[in-house]
Chain A
């Protein structure tokens, strides 16, 4: 059940005009906007701020088709996270579950700017980024519930979603670790001369990690096509940014590395920034993007999210800055679709998500033999053991 059944989004506008996007067969809005490729230029509500770099223009080129796809894609992500919340409370999802609702514009805007040969690596708040990379709802829910058809065969769990074929390097549990790893992918891309870049996503909590600065220093020395993207949702678990960072101007923290501050709740701004960053990184080396964003849920499902921030703040952001609502307003003001057509899309999305959940619930658990698979690529016949080594043992092929 492909959600984002879209051919890879090229970064140049001309390709947008020539190749219409293909959509899943469930799409049925009547207006021609879905296939409308005429260029619309829309201004971001907030300008970009540059550090050691001239920021790109606020005027973003897009098309009605693209805007409608933004609406749909973000709606799918939103519904998926809400469904995950319910599944966690029903104890069908175990362990940790970190939800991304509120931050959808970053995942969607980024995909619009890049190809599946560009790399993305992120933290444990990885479900929506996975969908953006072409992952399916079924793979996501099955992984969350630890089933065989999950994107990591049920062995990774919420924090460890992967999609190597789409250059999605996961889902990482250790705060900050993904940054040097992302620079490493960029190193390999440059080494292999394949003309692509890697986006290493991290939060405001991770922004203080020493390994970020170590990796960034090397990336700058080696002119790696690495784009460090700080998804600043202003709280590292329960700690507000100003309590953790002497300088919460994360786009400036690269010091000698240029940076851009972006309204992360504006999908068009995100797209523009990523196009800009990709072009910059390929020519010059690393750049930092700070996405000013917000998460509605707490840090994880064990965190109510209201002991360190007020409910007024949360509802305030929902009212003023919700990324999906902004796109809805844009669609309505430009008359790209009617309010009821948008409601229909949301209904379809809801059904799609519900169907995927139902299907995932029916998925079997991994076969017990999977306990010992993928420890190595090549095990040379080494013996491996279960807890009682005389009862359960195996050979690593």
Chain B
């Protein structure tokens, strides 16, 4: 199953003969993680700590202050830091995003919250033209240390205008960094990294993950904790097929891996964490080990994150592929409201299992199953 020819990865990260995947699976010795926190708490504490550490950091958005946050992510922050640093804005994304970017031009470190990323479309000119491109256009004079954060992707029954995933859109743009956490550890580490980062970061959360709890070590809870940008995490090691995912889909991929393991297929699940820069090294190293790939995302399929991952693997690891790359994505339709249609429009665990089996040539053909 392993490819015979081993090519240098060419990233300067690993020598060609290493079998271990590049990236972040380093055997750390954590103390037993007794504590669990929700993603919501993780984000709240990360914001709190970064605001405490740096007076230039401030938060702005709709209902972030007195209402305690539409999803309670900014709970308690107004009380702690006051209205100069926690600003309730009117419902005017284009205006307040422009104001946030302007503040970042001066050197402040705004965190701009979009109640959902669907509303960021009202402000997208500022995200792209005013924030992403400024450092380049000004030859380094005007950097934009801003974070745009908020829930992204589908929730439950919120309809076509409130369910889109913007990962592919923002990750398309040079000058932006795009992160998407899955677990509480991701949420804390990546948000802290985003706030400390000197470049504009689009931080894509997920409403349905806010209430989920994950175990966290003492290291994660420490205020100095930070995760590197541009590095994926191998959530589950495996041998037979690589499954990439981000945000909520990581949970689905892990469930799929559990199901697959009972059928003798060992899936390696990669939590991308960073959509841009994409950790091509980790992905490719994994595919070179497993020789098979399933990409999973919630967003629309055409020109999606999976399409880019597939191309990267084809470019870097073509000879290692033993099967075509499989792609699981949202259905190619605006999100319907009806529960049965919505279920059909969003990837399910079964879809990932099926695609992984196909990649392993283990599926039953549809004709035989009929």
Contact = CB atoms under 8 A, between A and B. Distances in A.
A82 interface: no
A156 interface: yes
Nearest to B350: A388
Contacts of B337: 94-95, 143, 146, 152, 154-158, 160
A387 B92 contact: no
B338 A208 contact: no
A29 interface: no
B331 interface: yes
A68 B334 CA distance: 42
Interface stretch (A4-12, A173-181, A324-332): A173-181
B88 interface: yes
A387 B348 contact: yes
Interface residues of B, number: 49
B95 A388 contact: no
B88 A388 contact: no
Contacts of A172: 161
Contact of A366 (B92, B95, B341, B354): B341
Interface in B317-363: 326-334, 336-341, 344-348, 351, 354-355, 358
A184 interface: no
B229 to A, nearest CB: 29
B331 A244 contact: no
B241 to A, nearest CB: 15
Contacts of A193: none
B283 to A, nearest CB: 21
Interface string A171-209: 011111000000000000000000000000000011011
A360 B354 CA distance: 36
Contact of A238 (B66, B326, B334, B354): B66
B150 to A, nearest CB: 14
B159 interface: yes
Contacts of B336: 154-155, 366, 370-371
A343 interface: no
A394 to B, nearest CB: 9
Nearest to B340: A365
Interface string B158-187: 111110000000000000000000000000
A392 B344 contact: yes
A243 B161 CA distance: 27
B158 A96 contact: yes
A370 B90 contact: no
Interface string A113-157: 000000000000000000000000000000100110000101111
A244 B90 contact: yes
Nearest to B118: A174
A97 to B, nearest CB: 10
Contacts of A236: 90-91
Contacts of A239: 62-63, 66-67, 88, 90
A391 B91 contact: no
B344 A386 contact: yes
Nearest to A375: B333
Nearest to B95: A210
Contacts of B66: 238-239, 308
A155 B342 CA distance: 9
Interface residues on A, range: 35 or more
A372 interface: yes
Interface string A382-397: 0011111111100000
Interface in A33-61: none
A2 interface: no
Contacts of A381: none
B36 to A, nearest CB: 25
Interface in B80-125: 88, 90-92, 94-95, 118-119, 121-122
Contacts of B301: 385, 389
Contact of A173 (B159, B346, B366): B159
Nearest to A152: B337
B156 interface: yes
24 contacts: A95-B155, A95-B337, A147-B338, A154-B338, A156-B337, A158-B159, A172-B161, A173-B159, A174-B119, A175-B91, A208-B91, A208-B92, A210-B92, A237-B70, A239-B88, A244-B91, A308-B66, A365-B339, A365-B340, A386-B344, A387-B328, A387-B347, A388-B354, A389-B327
Given A244-B90, A384-B332, A387-B331, 17 more contacts: A154-B336, A155-B337, A159-B162, A173-B118, A208-B90, A237-B63, A238-B67, A308-B67, A372-B333, A375-B334, A385-B332, A386-B344, A387-B344, A387-B348, A391-B351, A391-B366, A392-B344
